[in-house]
Every structure is written in structure tokens, then in C-alpha cells.
Amino acid sequence: MTVLGVNVDHVATVRQARQTNEPDPVWAAVAAELGGADGITVHLREDRRHIQDRDVRVLRETVAVKLNLEMACEPRMTAIACELKPDQVTLVPERREEVTTEGGLDLLALGDRVTATIDQLHQAGIEVSLFLDPEPAQIEAAHGLNVAAIELHTGQYALATGDSARQEQLAMLHQAAEQVLALGCALHAGHGLNYHNVRPVAAIPHMHELNIGHSIVARALMVGMQEAVAEMKRCLGFPVSRAVTDR
């Protein structure tokens, strides 16, 4: 069964809007775990727009499930990760002006920088996942990097409007998934997934982990974090007790 990593960045976004101490992403992580989250994901951005260093430190001590730290391929971030030792680091691209992560890493452009980062993380005993677009050349470039997982960027799938565009994006994800599995990596996916579009992605053979943030936090505002996570878990194959997943 596909496991669910819940991204709690946007709880920190609300807190940072007032530069105060609530709501705390640590509370959200506890509620997410109670709702059935298999992992907690946070993105420590270089501009610290939402998650702060303190959040990652406290989460490292309190999260009982897998802690996945998303970060840019930068020496300062690598040093923080090596000190805090999350269970997994997902390397993502980062641009200051973006609203959210806009695409996968460009492995072809990053070259040795990504290799050096992966080596340091491995030496610290941290598993590495690479966030990549479902593009054959990018996935091929991961050959030999020895990473545990590749997370396919589902943003274009989520944005596609109309059946044929969505099916086209889904077909690309299926092909990319086969390539990821052929490399011997675990198959992860995320970005833009919600209660209505998640099931075809979860149904990709051998899909191991989905990382979902915005839609869960948005729903949590209405129904609470624990229930929002439980509803997403039902979408991933737990017994569905609500019509919401059928819309």
C-alpha cells in the first residue's frame, strides 16, 4: 500500500504571516500522525519563509514516523541536514521568487554538486530522494547516484485540464515510474496532489510514497488535521467511508 508523507509547511506559513508562535507545525505533525500519516515532510527553504530551523530540530525529536526534509542542493542546507539527521532528505530545486517548488531538479545542470551533496548525506546515514520531472533524460541522469528513491513531480499532471491532457500526463508518469524502478530506486511522487486527483497516481504500480501538503492543510482548516489526513489515507486505499473521494 502507498504510504503518505504529510507536508506541514503551510501550517508554518500561517504562523509566519504574524511572526508569532502559532499555529505550530509540530502540533500539526502530531495530529497528522494521529490521522495515520506515515511520514512528516518539511521544506527548509533558504529564505525561511515558512519552516524554521527550530521546527526541524523539534520535529526530529518528536516525530515518531519518518521525517523527510526537503532542501536545496546547498552546502549550508547539507550541513544542517547532516547535523539533524532526518530519515530522508529530498533534494529539490529552489528559486526565491517561486510561490512553491516549480519543477524537478535539473540533474544535467547540477552535475558534481548533486553528487557531492548525496555523498555527504550518505556519510551521515541519511537516505536520499531526488525530486525529478517525469523526463527520461533526468531520470537517466540519476543512474549511478545510488539514491534510495526518486520522487516524480506530479505538478503538470495536477495542472492538466481535460481528460486527454490529464491522461497524457499520467502516461508520462507511468513511463517515468518504470524507468525509476529499473534504476532500483523506490518510487515516490508529489506536488499538486489532492483528494480528487490522487488515486490514478497512487495506482501506478509499485508507487511507494506520496508527499502531499497544500490540499491536506487546506482541508484541515475545515475538518481538522487528523480528519484531513484520515480522509487522504482513505483515498489511498483505506476503507472509504465518505462520498468526498468520489466527486
Please identify which residue in 38, 70, 135, 209 interacts with ligand PXP, judged by CB under 6 A. Answer: 70
Stretch that binds ligand PXP, among 21-29, 120-128, 166-174, 211-219 (CB under 6 A): 211-219
The enclosing H or E element of 176 equals: helix 163-182
Q: Interface with ligand PXP by CB under 6 A: which range of 17-25, 108-116, 140-148, 210-218?
A: 210-218
Per-residue string for binding with ligand PXP, 78-97, x by CB under 6 A? ------------x-x-----
The nearer residue to ligand PXP, 9 or 133, going by C-beta atoms, is 9
Looking up cell 489526513, which residue turns up?
229
CA–CA distance from 244 to each of 3, 139, 183 (Å)? 20, 35, 37
**Distance from C-alpha of 39 to C-alpha of 52, rounded to nearest angstrom:** 19
Calpha distance 153→86 (Å, rounded): 21
Q: Which of 33, 188, 191, 209 is an active site residue?
A: 191
Annotated catalytic residue within 70, 94, 135, 231: 70
Site membership for ligand PXP, residue 191 (CB under 6 A): yes
Q: Which residue has the cell 502507498?
A: 2
- Binding part of the chain for ligand PXP, among 112-120, 169-177, 205-213, 239-247 by CB under 6 A, reads 205-213
| Alpha helices in 21-149, H assignment, sequence order | 25-34, 53-62, 75-84, 107-110, 112-123, 136-141
Catalytic residue among 10, 43, 50, 153: 43
| Known catalytic membership, residue 70 | yes
Active site residue 206: no
According to CB under 6 A, which residues from 39 to 58 bind ligand PXP? 43
Instruction: Tell which positions 15-44 bind ligand PXP, by CB under 6 A.
Output: 43
Measure the CA angle with vertex 32, ends 31 and 34; round to 5°.
65
Q: Which is nearer to ligand PXP, 236 or 239 (CB)?
A: 236
User: Contact 79/123 with Cβ under 8 angstroms?
Assistant: no
Near ligand PXP in 115-134, by CB under 6 A:
131
Query: Which of 172, 167, 122, 128 shows the shortest CA–CA distance to 152?
Result: 172
Considering the complex, what minimum distance in angstroms separates the CB of residue 235 from ligand PXP? Answer: 13
Least distance in angstroms from the C-beta of 223 to ligand PXP: 17
Interface with ligand PXP, residue 219, by CB under 6 A: no
Query: Among residues 193, 198, 204, 232, which is the contact residue for ligand PXP, using CB under 6 A?
Result: 193
Residue with the three cell numbers 541519511: 126
Rounded distance between C-alpha atoms, residue 8 and residue 32, angstroms:
9
Q: Could you tell me the CA-to-CA distances from 37 to 40, 120, 225 in Å, in that order?
A: 7, 28, 10
Which three cell numbers mark 212?
Answer: 502531499
Residues within the interface to ligand PXP (CB under 6 A) = 7, 9, 43, 70, 90, 92, 100-101, 131, 151, 190-193, 211-215
Active-site residue set: 43, 70, 191
